[in-house]
């Protein structure tokens, strides 16, 4: 459960995003934070997401007590070997404008994370607002429902024989019928979204993108 409940904010977009990795839902207090949660939800490396996870306390130079709640805790799958991340999401412009105010918070979070064996990570729009995000937001809706097994076999089997192709050429080769192609392309996006077919998701995904067999 979140340590802090995000209040309504008339300066920023706040809300709740669907997230299976956060137990069904995850709170956000900016569109940038929402986009970061989308990346985490899509990533095959991420095991769980915990928004507003811990309260970090620290003392200022005068002995005054302060507290700060980072945005999200990220745990990775065990086989990946990564230590968990304690993350703060901020626009670069806000970092420049408020660095003197934010620095003590981040320093305290960095120290706290090290004590836990975690990594404190500051994430900005430079890391979030990328072609990968656009691809993730497009593909994630194709993960469910599970498609017809026959279509899956057709696509994987054909791609396995030729090793790589484009979505357009692959679908045309399997079945020239437009009705069947409409079903096949949805299955193809599902297979890319579930990492059963390879694609360069760091570039915009189109019908002309290179895709390849993973088996």
Q: Residues 151-183: pLDDT tens digits? A: 999 999 999 999 999 999 999 999 999 999 999
For 103, the token pair is: 């620095």
Q: Residues 31-55: pLDDT tens digits? A: 999 999 999 999 999 999 999 999 9
pTM of the full structure: 0.88
Helix axes 178-193, 131-139, angle to 10 degrees: 120
Nearest Cα to Cα of residue 34 among 57, 61, 16, 7 = 16
- Which domains can be identified in the chain, with CATH numbers? 15-129 (3.40.1350.10), 133-213 (no CATH)
Beta strand 72-76 with 85-89 is antiparallel
Whole-Å CA distances, 27 to 47, 141, 173: 18, 20, 44
State the Rg of the chain over Cα: 21
């Amino acid at each position: 459960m979140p340590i802090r409940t995000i209040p309504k904010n008339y300066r920023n977009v706040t809300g709740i995003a669907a997230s299976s990795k956060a137990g069904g839902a995850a709170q956000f207090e900016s569109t940038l934070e929402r986009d970061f949660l989308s990346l985490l939800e899509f990533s095959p490396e991420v095991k769980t997401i915990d928004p507003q996870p811990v309260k970090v306390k620290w003392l200022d130079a005068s002995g005054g007590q302060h507290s700060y709640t980072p945005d999200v805790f990220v745990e990775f799958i065990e086989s990946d070997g990564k230590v968990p991340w304690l993350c703060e999401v901020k626009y670069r412009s806000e970092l420049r404008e408020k660095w003197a105010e934010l620095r003590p918070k981040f320093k305290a979070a960095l120290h706290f994370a090290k004590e836990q064996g975690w990594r404190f990570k500051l994430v900005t729009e430079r890391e979030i607002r990328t072609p990968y995000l656009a691809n993730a937001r497009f593909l994630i809706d194709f993960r469910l429902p599970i498609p017809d097994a026959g279509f899956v076999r057709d696509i994987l089997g054909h791609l396995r024989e030729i090793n790589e192709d484009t979505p357009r050429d692959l679908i045309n080769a399997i079945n020239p019928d437009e009705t069947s192609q409409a079903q096949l392309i949805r299955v193809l996006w599902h297979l890319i979204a579930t990492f059963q077919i390879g694609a360069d998701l760091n570039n915009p995904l189109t019908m002309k993108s290179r895709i390849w067999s993973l088996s």
